[in-house]
A = this chain, B = another copy of it.
Amino acid sequence: MPDPVCIVGGTGALGFGLALRLGRAGVPIVIGSRDGARAQEAADRARWRVPAGNFGGRENPGAVRSAGLVILSVPFRSQSETLTNLKPALGQDQLLVDATVPLAAAVSGKATRTLGVWQGSAAQQAQEMVPEGVRVVSAFHTVSAALLTDLEHELDEDVLVCGNRREDKARVSELVDRIDGLRAVDCGPLEMARIVEQFTPLLISINVRNKVRAGIKITGLHT
């Protein structure tokens, strides 16, 4: 059985969708939330949707301690505070998969625009904030939360993965590839997240124009 994965913000749309899909793929999931009761309630909902899945729900620090790989899926306005609170819980050799997008909506701006982050990207801000030894990989910015949550929908798109260590990206890619219809694509070092995080507002713009839930696929790859 694969190692458990913790999803901080697993009560939100994207986090919950990832929990469902990964849970269905046989990955034990611990949903984390600031509110332990809400986390448990989300785990119950997930279990109801995917009865064969292994779902738990806990307050963030406990949830994070229980997993080697932590997916951070919170709105940009909460990213910094969440990471500050998680610092004591994050330990050596943990992998933090950051899915944060610095949408201008965080400061009442448009969802088709982003904020400039001093470090370059939300993922690089996360890397600056986590304790030494914790590595950040950036992923999951282009997959629609609604399509992940709709388990009848057959996915057919890519997840763009950025990170500084090949073995960390391989670990995240292995997780991505467990989900039917998703393919992980290595996009280079973590600094490339400043580009990949921009894809979300672009897809939002395409969605609005075409009344769809768009995703991204990289053409020309051999796999």
Contacts and interface: CB of A to CB of B under 8 A. Distances in A.
Secondary structure class of chain A's binding surface, majority of residues: mixed
Given A112-B192, A187-B206, A195-B198, A216 B214 contact: no
A210 B173 CA distance: 15
A214 B218 CA distance: 6
A195 B203 CA distance: 10
Nearest to A199: B195
Number of copies: 2
Interface in A142-157: 144, 147, 156-157
A206 to B, nearest CB: 6
A2 interface: no
A178 interface: no
Contacts of A199: 195
Interface string A190-223: 0110111011011101101110111111111110
A166 to B, nearest CB: 10
B220 A219 contact: no
Contacts of A218: 203, 206, 214-217
Interface string A23-51: 00000000000000000000000000000
Contacts of A157: 219-220
A61 to B, nearest CB: 35
A214 B219 contact: yes
Given A187-B202, A205-B192, A219 B215 contact: yes
B188 A209 contact: yes
Given A195-B201, A216-B218, 20 more contacts: A112-B188, A112-B192, A156-B219, A160-B202, A185-B206, A188-B206, A188-B209, A196-B202, A198-B198, A206-B218, A210-B221, A212-B222, A213-B220, A214-B220, A215-B218, A216-B217, A216-B219, A217-B217, A217-B218, A217-B219
The 10 closest A-B pairs by CB, nearest first: A188-B205, A215-B219, A217-B217, A195-B198, A157-B219, A214-B220, A195-B202, A212-B220, A214-B218, A213-B220
